Amino acid sequence: MVARIYGIAELRACPIETTFRIVGKRWTVLILRELFFGVTHFNRLQENVKGITPKILSRRLKELQRLRIVERLIVSQAPIRIEYRLTDLGRRLDSVLISAAAFSMACLPKAVFKDGKPRELAVVVGRSRVP
């Protein structure tokens, strides 16, 4: 499949590299993960993404907004409440992130799991608790 993609004469840039230029920036995939889990407020995002500074979080959210992956919504004026949500385009990254998780769980288990044993994504997702 990848070989067929690269046979397309219309390509201007590597489509794989283009995706990873976005999600591969430090902190971005963790922000996306939180948004997929339903976290929508700036302070909650900052709490859940350990180590990120407010300045970097703000910068990454603005980048994702510019790319139409995330939208910023004002949900109340007084007091002002802002939420961030994935757009339809942003939700399409779901399969990319799931594929990355499946690869890591199966092929890099020592980096992912405390016991270092590989697991299939379907098995992990199908359980409420992993042994």
pLDDT of residue 86: 97
| CA-wise closest residue to 97 among 14, 13, 15, 35 | 35
Compute how many other C-beta atoms are within 10 angstroms of the C-beta atom of residue 101. 15
d(CA 37, CA 125): 14
d(CA 16, CA 95): 14
Domains of the chain: 13-88 (1.10.10.10), 93-126 (no CATH)
pTM of the model: 0.85
Q: Is 130 strand, coil or helix?
A: coil
The rounded average pLDDT for each run of 10 residues, N- to C-terminus, in the chain (131 residues) is 72 87 95 96 96 97 98 90 96 94 95 94 67 36
Which burial class, exposed, middle or buried, applies to 25 when counting CB atoms under 10 A from its CB (0-12, 13-18, 19+)?
Answer: middle
For the chain, first and last CA: distance in Å?
Answer: 36
DSSP letter at 7 equals T
